[in-house]
Structure 1
Amino acid sequence: MPMNRFLKFSGIPSHCKGLFFLIAALNLLVISTALGQSGYRISGTVKDSLNKAIPGAAIEVITGKDTVKGNTDYRGRFAVIGIVTSEILLTIKAMGYLSISRRYKFTPEHRSLIIQPVMDRDVNTLKEVVIKAKVIPIRLMKDTVEYNAAAYMVRETDRVEELLRQLPGIEIDNEGKVSAMGRPMTKLRINGEDFFTNNVKDFISQLPADMVAKIQVINDYGDEANFTGIKTGASEKMLNLVTKPGRNKGNFGNTSVSGGTNERYGLQTNANLWREKKQIGVKGSVISTNNAAGINRGISTGINYRDKLSKELTTSIAYSFDNVKNKNHQIDFIETLNTIGTIYTSDESQRNSKNNKHNVNWSLQSVGDKSYVQAGVVGTFLDNNDLFMGKSNQRGVIKQDQFNNSTTKDFSPDLNANVAWAYRLKKPGRNISVGVSAKNGTSDTQEDLNSQISYYGPGQASVVKDSVLNRIVNTRTLSRSVGASFRFSEPIGHRTDSLISRNLDVYYNFQLEVNNNDLLTRVNNNSSVGRVIDSLSTVYSSRFISHLIGLSYRFGAENLSYSLGMTAQPNLLVVENEHPVSRITRAGFNMAPVANMSLILSQNTSVTFTYNGNSIAPNLSQLQPVPNTRNLQNIVIGNPNLKSTFNHNASFTYQNSNLVNGRALMLGINSTLVKDQIVSNIILKRDTLNSLKQQTRFENADGTYSLDALYSWSKPFVENKFNVEFRGSIGVANTVSYTDSILNTNRGFNFAQAVSLRMNQKGLSLSAAANYTYSSNRYSLALGNLKDIQIYELNVNAKAFITPTISIGFDASKRINKGYSLDAKNPFLMNASIQKTFFKKQQATLKLQAYDLLNQGNYLMRSVSDNSIIDSKNSQITRYFQLSFNINLQQFGG
């Protein structure tokens, strides 16, 4: 029987490849039994002479007349199982390294070998010989999607950001934030190692694209999970860049100076020293703009240091400071439903804010063969000053005008610390881990609130009475929490000659949150200056204690891993109010299954599924029974009888790629079901003038859920010079709230569809896209009042290189808005730029940019909250011109 029928680096029999949606818990248990393999086994980690893992190295095992081929993963690891001959020839090859060929011999007593091969650099690579082979653009691995950078157009001056924009399933918004299949990228690594601050947005615009060999999008469960193999909770999307040989160190940095119309100017600079064991980075910037509301200015600076003190121990420390001044002018139109009609509110506000933020982050990590240790401390210090001025006109059920202004000062220091330890015991697969975390945060807020309300008589157009009230509110909040975790994993039926593992995992998490709140309200009217209002003041505390006890069965093979289990989550909420004296105790208990699965159906098809549940305690504003009168026409009163909320979350992902033509298909389904959701109960009350005002209370309610599906299909053609992509989403959601204590449901529907065409050639890049978005909301209190919006948008983006050093850029978009309550323009936006590069390596750039040439920009947004639909528009200057000069200094490799 051919050797490749025994193994393909997977351990999965061929009949598993037909599984897709019908995989369930019982099927997985049957599969795990069928996956058992016999014979010899060889595994290990391939590294270079500097102890760096070599991902993507080609592994070839010759055993008798059969040959098995594979590759190392992103950590340089490989494994071959089911070997039937006692003697083999192992060959390892990697670009830029001298190949290794060694013979190994097994014995009946030693049927498994673990090796650590070291590859030396090939300094005599013949650069004159170019061998062209079919490049595979996408490769699917367990928890990882890998893109081959060689399959995409990369110019000499391109940054990683330009490369990412070409990859199917990856999107970069206008602010430079990266997401994969709709989920944000939260961490950046290079060659599997943390990179400076791990900020994806900061470094994809600095690192050159030509240094990258592969780009990996990883479902990351954390370093401790990678060490122990126990993956619980939801994963995060991590971006890992695999560099070309010799490009894993260097110095890089840039300085940019810009100036433009409307008092725009900016200075940004950064410098980074990157060695294989040490990273040092500094940055600073000053940016100022003038919009319709006034001048916005931001000053920031930071420094970070990371050092690998030994083979296992790494430490890092970072500090940043931000000083921000913002002025914002906003118009809102709000439709609020209730049992007797609709309230139509027109709001116009201006907010001036100033804040200083200090952030300090220190971490220590040690990863060895047997033990894992991680410790960290994060401190944040925020000093905020805010000036607000606004007017509100209510019509419909309530007819009033309200004028508000307030000044707020807030100082909020927070300190977080955590320690985690994990250890692999003597028996393979048996490990233990413990962790402790603590948080201490305070907030000291002083508010000076002034309100004037103009009342209209029934059916009258003139004001019948004005009411003026000035309040001073002092709030002090102390929040403390401590958490602890314990995990133990016991292998079941472990065999040293097999890559298949079975484990029984037991884990326990404890969390204690304590909040103390001191609220003092004074009234400064002419007749009562500084008088304390007892009904609006309180001393208040709450304690939330939660336990999570879990038991799960975990199975792992090369191409299949899954975990099935159950969690029990008892919790206790204790609320104590000193004025008036009261004590509320609420106990809760939730049970939920735990499941996650990752399956490689074939070389080009993978499936993942995850489910988890979590409990959330109500916050102080939801619990506190003392009225919050910051908005006199919507007084908020908490409910100390609230239960904690429990969320059920599940997600499913299917990925398929064609290795021949590069076509890629990605499907995702996300769902949420909420039990005991904390919702608002908005009640209409009569005031002293027999007019109406709103009062918001809180209740628990069931019925909140959401289900979303999204897809991305792309295909390159003409040797990857062109690429077409279709992507879209469809979703339904149901939210619940109360209006006058009557349950009100809001059924929402969202649909989005986009098609884009990209062309990348050496002298020209061009992209065009068409987008359509539809969303609707239907309230049970007003079934005939369907609220929907539609957005049609066309985009074109082009960049042409007139000469090797001169390029011009142009982009345009036409947007049609339908369904907004506010006056919605249908803008046609046009931007243009021209740039010239200088010096031998084109390190400097002079660029002239023109934004919104037709001056038609406007910012519209719709949000839905409880029984209200809010349309918002910001007033900003969108047409401006800017000239910038940037110098980029970099040296990577030796």
Structure 2
Amino acid sequence: MKTVYLFIITSLISFTSFAQTGRQIKGIVKDSTGVTLPGTTIKLLTGTDSTTVITDNAGSFTFDNVKANQFSLVLNSIGYQGLRRRFILDNANTPVSLKPIILKNDTYMLNTVTISDANPIKLKEDTIEFNAAAYPVRDNAPVEDVIKKLPGVDVDKDGNITAQGKSVTKVRVNGKDFFGGDVKSATKNLPADIVQNIQIIDDYGDQANLTGIKSGEPDKILNITIKQSKNYGYFGQASVGGGKDAIPSVDGSKNDNRYVASANVFSFNGDRQLAFLGNLNNTNTNLFTFGGGGPRGGGPGGPPGGNSSNTNGITTARSFGFNYRDSWGKKITAYGSYSFADNSVYTVSKTIQNNISSTNPSTNTNNSTQNDEKLNHRFNFNIEIKPDTVNYIKITPTYAYAKVNTTQTGSSLLVNNSETVSNYNFVTASNQSEPNYGANILFNHRFKTHGRNFSINVGAGSYSINKYQNPVYTYIDGAANAPLNQFINTNSRTDSLGTSVSYLEPLSKKSYLEATYAYHYAYTTADKLTDTLNADGVTKDYYSLLSNNYNSTFITNRFGLNYRFIDKKYNYTLGLVAQPTILRGRSVMNNSSTDINTFNWAPNARFIYNFSRNQSLSLNYNGASNQPTYTELQPVTDFSNASYPIQGNPDLKPEFNNNLSIKYNKFDFATGNVFFSNLSFTTTDNKIVANTITYPKTYTPNSKLAGSILTQYLNADGYYSAQGFYVFAKPWDKRKYNLFFIGNVAYNNNISYISNVDSASYAMTTEKNIAKNLVLSQGVKFRLSIENVVDAEASTTYAVNKSNNSLKNANINNNFSSLNLGVNGKNYLWKDWTVSYDYSKMLYYGYKGATNPNILNTYVERRFLAGNAATIRLSAMDVFNQNTGYTSTQSGSYVTQTNTNRLGRYYLLSFTLKLQKFAGKKPNMGPGGPGGPGGGPGGPPPGGGF
């Protein structure tokens, strides 16, 4: 009987298990050519239930425990037409392997397809594309909040962006420069909810993009693509806020009141897009970044909470800008911008510089207070003309103007073996203006023969520096070498002209031959006039030894021949470049001239291998010359810094750089794991290096050099550098949880010459110093992102800056390191409340007198009105009032550490109002016409995003 009961129970269990267990269904997805499609999103629908998977690297997918015999599969893959297919299986419970499912190439997806989880990353040859929908952020957030979530991309507290270890130098919107490519003007002001995807691109220039043959070092640029559904409408935001410093200044050296006011407006009307940005604040938030400008800060974006940041000094910023894009008919597209800034910067700094020498090392301590008034204008415009299907013309005029007025006071103490070499106070007043203008014309013609192409690029420009300096020295002890009161006028101007020509001839369906020629001409004049104040304190004397009129001409001719082969999985370019250069210079002071001719051969090699749509490897090698600056050539002594005069060398040869880079990227569709890495190596022939000459405290042959360290320039071989970067990202649960490992390394084999003048015989000895500098950082981050609940990140980074010198007794104070511990995030409470926090603990090692600051910035905000249009925010910045900057710099001649002031603790209350309305197409004209029922603004037909 027991046996019967056991049989019945076993049978029931087996039957129950059979009834409750479904079958396994497998399949594979391919395109029409038979290539598998990893990363395809597949949704299985059974009645009201659904399950979603993503194909693995082999294009395969598996659904386990499918209980229904009838179901539908909905497939979607980027670049392919969406597909929905129904399946009816037998009643058996055995595993099923479906026949390969074929997707057709297409540029759109079926409207009926719904994707539950967006494919986050797409790898192309020189582009990494991130789907913005895969990185959700809070409503009304700026696009910068999306960028912060992208693996391999880092945004610092000032809004500066690095991608795969390199700085992003330019931003585009829908492939066109936005505000001249200014990065933060777009990332901090464009709303995230209008963005389709974000691309990180290695850009080799317009001409290379047209021909497909790329050489040289690319720029890292960011391209933001706008959703088609946002082609028509507007977005506007205005913010205003005020507050106080928690600790008022005792001496009144800075403004104790904090204020912010900003506005931005974007108007979209098909091909016509307009943008206006304006900003006024004294919280270290710059709207634009100008080349050669002052300390870089953040920009407006979201309610202004201030920016207690990494920016040195305290900045008052006044800026605005306008960006324009439109189609002038069917054949012409025009876009450009104007940017303006008027900033004031107050900086207090202390620098300790250890000058390297085996026999005569010295330490210079410099304290200074500096006020800068900076004015910048920038205008650029682009006209693209496509008269027909085979011709393309781009005309680009540019103009920029920068002006800075500076007053600086401070002290300098130079000590050698505990003996004071010089000790003085200084006051310097200076002003400098830099007008810069030019134009560029690019023409491209595609012949009827497939692949045959001709392009020519012509550009011309002029760049000037007009500088006045009045350094006044008051000596307390030691050698009084420099003139006590100088009036230095330096005027330099470089006029340049260049052209590059490319002709591409197809050899077969897969191979091409390109012939190139490039010519560059630069003529520089540098006039330096130095006067000194007479003993009567009124009249000025011309100082001939410190004055000169110098001019130089630099000409390069670059001949190249490249062979390119393109296959489905890989493509490569092999070429050879011949580059003769001519450098001519003439000095009026001693009626001398130089004429230097060099000739360099360099291979050009580029190899791309695409293992799959989600894995690629690229190698790139190129060579290029680099001309000396006029400061390095000018053969007179510059005493604008009494302790460190500079004297150029008119006999310098141009440098020639050989660059090799390797890049490997991989994204796993099944797990979501991301791995990006790159390595680069550079060697330089005729590297322009410093020769520092230390003169004794008493030096009778030339008393002006007594006690100083003179810098001259020489050519040297043996310089090389290497850089590496990697990031590994591991996500879980549709990227709600992410773990990042990020590493950077840089190694430089610096060359310099150290000379010493004997205090008794005045004989000079010169030694070569090789300074091996290692900069290493390793970081770990964990990010938690649950939409409308929390968006937080914990991180730690350890960084090392270490140098070893070949000279004996030269390794002093040359090891610096830091540990950064941080946590930042936003918690969303009761639907409309946000609590934000950004805490970091810095631990400095090796810095003399460094503190270990705790930095906490926090705010609480409340959204209200319809559509969360209004926000009020209360911010507390640098809560512990410990924000101070420490940096170190190492070369073959010296090691420095610098401590600089930053904006400290303050409180700010701000209000922001946002309005927006978008449509995917031009509103229809209703019976009432424009403005009537159903009516709307006219305009061109839909034709692209921003």
Query: In structure 1, which of residues 878, 889, 894 is the aligned counterpart of residue 915 of structure 2?
Result: 889
For 2:792 and 2:599, how far apart are their aligned partners in 1?
A: 56
SS in 1 for 2:133: helix
Query: Which of 446, 452, 459 is the equivalent residue of 1:437?
Result: 459
Mapped to 1, the partners of 2:378 and 2:82 lie a distance apart of 49
Q: Partner of 1:668 in structure 2?
A: 678
Paired amino acid for 1:279: Q
> Please, what TM-score do these two structures have when normalized by structure 1?
0.83
Contact kept in structure 1, 2:469 and 2:640, CA below 8 Å: no
Structure-2 residue corresponding to 1:410: 432
Q: Distance in 1 between matches of 2:338 and 2:745?
A: 42
1:401-439 per-position Cα deviation (integer Å, ceiling 9, x unaligned): 022212112232221111111101121111111121111
Q: CA deviation at 1:192?
A: 4.1
SS in 2 for 1:622: helix
Aligned equivalents of 2:164, 2:313: Cα separation in 1: 37
Match of 2:109 in 1: 94
Provide the residue aligned with 1:567 in structure 2.
Answer: 577
Alignment of 1:738-757 (within 5 A): 738-740=753-755, 741-757=766-782
Specify the SS of the correspondent of 2:282: strand
* 8 Å Cα contact 1:258-1:884 kept in structure 2: yes
Q: CA deviation at 1:193?
A: 4.9
Amino acid at match of 1:828: N
Partner of 2:41: none
**SS at 2:229 equivalent:** coil
Residues 1:370 and 2:398 are matched in the alignment? no
Q: Give the 3 Å change call, closer, same or farther, for CA 366–809 of structure 1 in structure 2.
A: same
Pairwise CA distance, 1:295: 6.6
Q: Match of 2:752?
A: 737
Q: Give the equivalent residue in structure 1 for 2:326.
A: 307
Q: 1:470 aligns with which of 485, 502, 508?
A: 485
The one-letter amino acid of 2:266's match is N
249, 257, 263: which is aligned to 2:240? 257
Larger Rg: 2
- Call closer, same or farther: CA 1:446–1:243 in 2, change over 3 Å: closer
Task: Look up the match of 1:856.
Answer: 882
- Equivalent-residue separation in structure 2 for 1:3 and 1:201 (angstroms): 41
| 2:529 paired with 1:520 | yes
Tell me, in whole angstroms, the C-alpha distance in 1 between the residues paired with 2:224 and 2:528.
50
Distance 1:68 1:223, change over 3 A: farther
1:339-367 Cα offsets, whole Å, 9 max, x none, are 42321111001111112222221221124
The corresponding residue for 1:580 is 590
Aligned match of 1:677: 687
Q: What is the match of residue 815 of structure 1? A: 842
Deviations 1:586-607 (A, max 9, x none): 1011111111222211232111
What secondary structure sits across from 1:469 in the alignment? coil
Per the alignment, residue 823 of structure 2 pairs with 796
Give the equivalent residue in structure 2 for 1:25: none
Amino acid of the structure 1 residue aligned with 2:492:
T
What is the CA–CA distance in structure 2 between the aligned matches of 1:466 and 1:143, rounded to whole Å? Answer: 55
Q: Offset at 1:223?
A: 3.2
Could you say which residue in structure 1 is the equivalent of 2:894? Answer: 868
Query: What is the CA distance between 1:683 and its match in structure 2?
Result: 0.8
Matched, 1:148 2:131: yes
Structure 2 vs 1, CA of residues 354 and 211 (structure 1 numbering), >3 Å: closer, same or farther? closer
**DSSP-derived class of the 1:246 partner:** helix
Pair 1:760-2:789 in alignment: no
State the one-letter code of the partner of 1:508: Y
Q: 1:594 to 1:249 in 2, by over 3 A?
A: farther
Residue 391, structure 1, aligned to residue 411, structure 2: yes
- What amino acid maps onto 2:533 in structure 1? N
State the Cα distance separating 1:55 from its structure 2 match. Answer: 11
Q: Tell me if structure 1 keeps the 8 A contact 2:327–2:333.
A: yes
SS across alignment from 1:338: coil
Q: 1:888 is matched by which residue type in structure 2?
A: K
Please, which moves more after superposition, 738-747 or 233-242? 233-242
Quote the residue 2:364 is aligned against.
345
Residues 606-645 of structure 1: CA distance to partner in whole angstroms, max 9, x if unpaired?
A: 1122222111111111111111121233221111110001
Q: Which amino acid aligns with 2:275?
A: G
Aligned AA (1:623)? L
Cα shift readout 1:526-577 (whole Å, capped 9, x = no counterpart): 1693111212111111001111111110122344222111111100110111
Contact 1:424 1:431 in 2 (8 A): yes
| Cα distance between partner residues in 2 of 1:391 and 1:55 | 66
Change in CA separation of 1:131 and 1:407 when aligned onto 2, cut-off 3 Å: closer
Aligned to 2:802: 776
Question: Of 417, 434, 453, which residue of structure 1 is paired with 2:475?
Answer: 453
1:321 is the counterpart of 2:336: no
TM-score, normalization: structure 2? 0.79
Cα–Cα, structure 1 residues 633 and 814, in superposed 2: closer, same or farther, change >3 Å? Answer: closer
Distance in 2 (CA, whole Å) between partners of 1:707 and 1:479 is 32
SS at match of 1:662: coil
* 1:355 correspondence with 2:406: no
Summarize the alignment of residues 142-181 of structure 1 with structure 2, pairs less than 5 Å apart.
142-181=125-164
Specify the alignment match of 2:280 in structure 1: 286
Which whole-Å CA distance do the structure 2 matches of 1:250 and 1:557 have between them?
43
**Secondary structure in structure 1 of the residue aligned to 2:270:** coil
Instruction: Name the CA shift for 1:723/1:272 in 2 (closer, same or farther; >3 Å).
Output: same
Among candidates 338, 344, 351, match of residue 332 of structure 1: 351
**Aligned residues of 1:652 and 1:668 also touching (Cα < 8 A):** yes
* Contact kept in structure 2, 1:296 and 1:327, CA below 8 Å: yes
Aligned partner of 2:165 among 171, 182, 206: 182
What amino acid maps onto 2:745 in structure 1?
Answer: I
TM-aligned CA deviation for residue 180 of structure 1: 1.3
Aligned length: 784
Residue of structure 2 equivalent to 1:35: none
Per-residue deviation, 1:466: 9.8
Deviation at 1:131, TM superposition (A): 4.6
Stretch of structure 1 that moved more, 704-713 or 142-151 = 142-151
Mapped contact 1:257–1:886 kept (Cα < 8 A): yes
In structure 2, distance between residues paired with 1:254 and 1:509: 47
Distance in 1 between the 2:31 and 2:531 partners? 81
- Asked if the contact 1:442–1:479 (Cα under 8 Å) also holds between the matched residues in 2, the reply is yes
Q: Structure 1 CA distance, aligned partners of 2:480 and 2:468?
A: 30
- Secondary structure, aligned partner of 1:162: helix
Q: CA deviation at 1:678?
A: 0.6
The answer to whether the 8 A contact 2:481-2:707 is kept is no
Identity of aligned residues (%): 30
**Local SS of the residue matching 1:866:** coil
Structure 1: gaps spanning 5 or more residues: 12-53, 77-92, 97-124, 457-463, 495-500
Cα separation, partners in 2 of 1:450 and 1:340, compared to 1, 3 Å: same
State the partner residue of 1:69: 103
Greater relative contact order, per chain length (Cα 8 Å cut-off, separation 6+): 2
Identify if the C-alpha distance between structure 1 residues 271 and 201 changes in structure 2 by more than 3 Å, giving closer, same or farther.
same
Whether the 8 Å contact between 1:192 and 1:240 is mirrored in structure 2 is yes
Equivalent-residue separation in structure 2 for 1:569 and 1:718 (angstroms): 55
Q: Which of residues 864, 872, 876 in structure 2 aligns to 1:838?
A: 864
Q: Flag structure 2 segments of 5+ consecutive residues without an equivalent.
A: 1-27, 38-75, 85-98, 245-255, 285-307, 701-705, 756-765, 921-946
CA distances 1:57-76 after superposition (whole Å, capped 9, x unpaired) = 424899xx98753656xxx6
For 1:515 and 1:55, the matched residues in 2 are separated by: 55
Distance, in Å, in 1 between the alignment partners of 2:803 and 2:888 is 11
Please tell me the root mean square deviation across aligned C-alpha atoms, in Å: 2.8
Could you report, residue by residue, the CA deviation over 1:284-315 in whole angstroms, capped at 9, with x for unpaired residues? 22112599999742211222222111333211
Deviation of 1:168 after TM superposition, in Å, equals 0.9
Q: Distance in 1 between matches of 2:440 and 2:433?
A: 24
Distance 1:269 1:503, change over 3 A: same
Structure 2 counterpart of 1:789, one-letter code: F
Distance 1:880 1:185 in 2: 31
Amino acid corresponding to residue 780 of structure 2 in structure 1: V
Give the 3 Å change call, closer, same or farther, for CA 659–850 of structure 1 in structure 2.
Answer: same
In structure 2, distance between residues paired with 1:191 and 1:577: 50
Q: Is the 8 A contact 1:564 1:593 kept in 2?
A: yes
263-272 or 483-492: which moved more?
Answer: 263-272
Query: How far apart are residue 154 of structure 1 and its match?
Result: 3.3
Q: Which has the higher strand share?
A: 1
The corresponding residue for 2:740 is 725
* 1:543 counterpart letter in structure 2: T
